[in-house]
Chains A and B, each alone.
Chain A
Amino acid sequence: MLEADNLECVRGERRLFAGLGFKLEAGELLYLQGRNGAGKTSLLRMIIGLLPPETGEIRWKGQPIRRNGDDFRADLCYLGHLNAIKEELTPLENLLASAHLADEDLSEDDALDALEQVGLAGREDLACKYLSQGQKRRVALARLIKERRPLWVLDEPFVALDVAAVDWLAGIISGHLQRGGLAVMTTHQLVAIPAGTVRELRLS
């Protein structure tokens, strides 16, 4: 489903990696590992199409992602290290706004249900600027609960989460893999994902 070959990444004057390739099928998870500055986030940004690779090509369902970007992006869910939530809006408004902007139908009941699952029940109507770092992260992650797009690209999803939330998120990702989804993620904490095939790619 998702293939990459011969990718090369140059940032500034430095070449971060070259000749990199991988292949990911339905139900598989790709763990990207490497020290700080090895190019994990750059690789993720290449996969989602925001950073054009120096050489090489990324294909989704056999088609280069640069050519039919709109179709690819309709299958893609990206969660960066920034939460992409608005401090002035409430968690509920944030969730509904991000769904509308991504052209997804999310009912208010579904959104409330998702917020309850991430442990934010009772805080739906509080502006996000009053939430803690971990709670803001949970608002961002609440998107994943109703997310049915096949490719998830997650940049350090476990950062700022407590132990219970890490287990919960691992469960959500396994559920996604069991439904035949694909996921690519970077992390420094190796969290066991109970389902699906896990592949590892180490950048050095």
Chain B
Amino acid sequence: MFKIIFAVIGRDLKLAMRRQADIVSALFFFVIVVSLFPLGIGPEPDLLRKLAPGVLWVAALLATMLSLPRLFADDHRDGTLEQLALAPHPLGLVVTGKVIAHWLVSGLPLALIAPVLGIQFDLSSDALLVLTGAILLGTPALSGIGAIGAALTLGLRGGGVLLSLLVLPLYIPVLIFGAGAVDATVSGLGGEGHLSLLAAMTFASLGFAPWASAAALKIALE
């Protein structure tokens, strides 16, 4: 069971390394969108501190969305998806591997760069730590939920826009608790409760989303 998941992760990471432009462009999108806010609002530390969690999280959601349409589309176009569906394992395990690989190349870099961007908003070191933790814990859920949308819109014309409309509303709980964790830390309440809920959402979506995506992929392959 783990062999197939690791085989998929290994292959997808190797492919991502050959196409680094994709990773780098999503990451730069995140950096630029987040940096526009302090420039636009001006030097008002109190306001910036208040806005920071929401701005960073909304930018993270949008940056994750950028790479979603290609999650299954490339494999679908060159016939690899058929071969994956015909492998003697449940398709859900293959999708689990793809979701983990997607997180490693799109969610993990965001979490690593987020503390640097947080400095622009004058966040305290505690808040930066919680921000990084929240993005680390929450982005796997984004990849999981996104995989369902990517599978449902596979092969549709204009699927990219439809994908955003389907997936962004489902991202709202992650956004609320992700931004809430940082807010709570800044106001001195402690963000542990929010972080636990984020972790719960991540585990639930990693357990459930691959199987829902697999069912949608089977319909797309008919």
Contact = CB atoms under 8 A, between A and B. Distances in A.
Interface of A: 45, 48-52, 70-71, 73-74, 76, 78, 80-89, 93, 97-98, 100-103, 127
Given A51-B222, A103-B3, A73 B14 contact: no
Contact of A84 (B15, B80, B94): B80
Nearest to A87: B78
A81 to B, nearest CB: 8
Given A52-B222, A86-B80, A76 B4 contact: no
A52 B219 CA distance: 10
A84 B87 contact: no
Nearest to A74: B88
B70 to A, nearest CB: 13
B221 A84 contact: no
5 contacts: A50-B221, A74-B88, A78-B86, A84-B83, A86-B78
B18 A88 contact: yes
Given A101-B7, A103-B4, A78 B90 contact: no
Contact of A103 (B10, B11, B15, B87): B87
A93 B85 contact: no
Interface string B22-61: 0000000000000000000000000000000000000000
The A interface is mostly helix, strand or loop, or mixed, namely: loop
A12 to B, nearest CB: 12
Given A50-B221, A73-B88, A74-B88, A80 B15 contact: no
B84 interface: yes
A87 B79 CA distance: 12
A55 B88 CA distance: 25
Nearest to A75: B88
Contacts of B83: 78, 84, 98, 101-102
A192 B209 CA distance: 48
A88 B78 CA distance: 12
A53 to B, nearest CB: 11
- Quick one: which of A73, A81, A84 has the most chain B CB within 10 A? A84
Interface in B165-203: none
B146 to A, nearest CB: 22
A98 B80 CA distance: 9
B214 to A, nearest CB: 12
A97 B86 contact: no
B90 A101 contact: no
Interface in B120-165: none
B79 A80 contact: yes
A70 B86 contact: no
B134 to A, nearest CB: 33
B86 A85 contact: no
Contacts of A82: 77-79, 82
Contacts of B89: 70, 103
A89 B14 contact: yes
Interface in B78-113: 78-80, 82-90, 94
Contacts of A86: 11, 15, 78, 80
A99 B9 CA distance: 15
B85 A100 contact: no
Nearest to B8: A101
- Quick one: which of A45, A93, A101 has the most chain B CB within 10 A? A101
A97 B4 CA distance: 11
A103 B83 CA distance: 12
A188 to B, nearest CB: 20
A197 B14 CA distance: 43
B7 A88 contact: no
